Amino acid sequence: MANTSTPKKPTAKKTVVAQNNGQAEKKQTGSSRIKVQKTYKIFINGQFPRTESGRYYPLTLSDGSIVNLCLSSRKDIRNAVVAAREAQEKWAARAGLNKSQILYRLAEMLETRSSQFIEELQLMGATKEAAINETETAIDRLIYYAGWCDKFNAIFSSVNPVSSSHFNFSSNEPTGVVTIVAAEESGLLGLISVMAPVIAGGNTCVVLASESKALSAVTLAEVIATSDIPAGVVNILTGTRKELLAHMANHMDVNAIYLHSNKAEEIKEVETLSALNVKRARIEFVSNWFEPKEENPYRIQDFIEVKTTWHPIGI
């Protein structure tokens, strides 16, 4: 932290010096306070458990410090999917306007925590300018999808002309539980650009955060936990794709998977395993998340199903 550089109690320090000459020199170089290390946890059902496996992986930050992040296992995915399934129906049943308000509220909370996101993005290698840009774009993107919650159904549904005496109309329903394998290169914006449209459409999700840029995802989880998003709607895990990708793709209780990848073997694995329960698989690679075209309602449409109803008339 920036505000801990000057020692507050010089008198106390002097006493230490007088008593123990051996350690005195070391302490004089900075604050004698021991920095409190944060335990980075995963986010399942509105709570912050450690990974069930008890494992972690170290991440070296740009200031030279090392943090430990949970190396989630397939059982964490299982627990997260149970939570997401439990939450899905209730989340989908909320009015579009209410979902709008909740997403907007999340954006408000992110705005007040923006300095932390900016700091963490820098710790993960971004320049200050890039970090500010990414954080601000991410918040704006959330606001953008908040606006769509109660509008997308109007533009993606239709009344269809049919040549029989039926009133025929199509409306949208959420796909269900979606696993998201978020962009590796863009820890905050890449995650929010995918997560926001998924939940705006009434789905719930289990996110595997970027492995090398995971701090933003953990902090986002902390913001979500104190926002109005119900428990289980968003679940965030940290870990490796190599280990978890198969389980995110083959889980029978998952209705769709989003994979951000340009690696042939990952794409093949997800496509093959998704076929098991005919999961919807949306696979893409976005090289620049800042582009305006990455902000569009069709991202909501990717995770909705169309239900068409034939209603007899004139009988």
Partner 1 sequence: MGNHNVSYQPSISPPIDQISVEERCARFQSRSIKGETKVAGLKLALSMIDLTTLEGKDSEGKVKQLCYKAMHPHDAMPGIPTVAAVCVYPTMVRTARKALKGSNIKVAAVATAFPSGLAPLKVKLDDTKFAVEEGADEIDMVISRGRFLQGDFNLVFDEIAAVKEACGKAHLKVILETGELSTLDNVRKASDIAIFAGADFIKTSTGKIQPAATMPVTLVMLEAIRDYYYETGKMIGMKPAGGIATSKLALHYLVMVRETLGEAWMNPDWFRFGASKLANDILMQLAKDQTGVYQSLNYFSND
Residues in the site for partner 1, rule: CB under 8 A? 74, 77-78, 81, 247, 250-253, 276-277
Contact 107, 162 (CB under 8 A): no
> Considering the complex, what minimum distance in angstroms separates the CB of residue 55 from partner 1?
16
Output 78 or 166, the one with its CB closest to partner 1: 78
Smallest separation (angstroms) from partner 1 to the CB of 220: 25
* CB closer to partner 1, 228 vs 253: 253
Would the CA dihedral through 246, 179, 261, 236 be positive or negative? negative
Q: What tokens does 17 get?
A: 């010096």
Nearer to partner 1, 251 or 282 (CB): 251
- Least distance in angstroms from the C-beta of 247 to partner 1: 7
DSSP state for residue 314 in the 8-state scheme: -
Using the minimum distance from each CB to partner 1, give the nearer residue, 37 or 277: 277
CB of 208 to partner 1, least distance (A): 15
| Minimum distance of partner 1 from residue 252's CB (angstroms) | 4
In the three-class reduction of DSSP (H, G, I as helix; E, B as strand; rest coil), residue 295 is classed as: coil
Q: CA-CA distance, 272 to 23, in Å (whole number)?
A: 61
Report d(CA 101, CA 92) in Å as an integer. Answer: 14
Could you tell me the two tokens for 224? 């979500």
Residue with tokens 């069930």: 52
SS3 content of the chain, % helix, strand, coil (to 5): 45, 20, 35
Of 71 and 80, nearer to partner 1 (C-beta) is 80
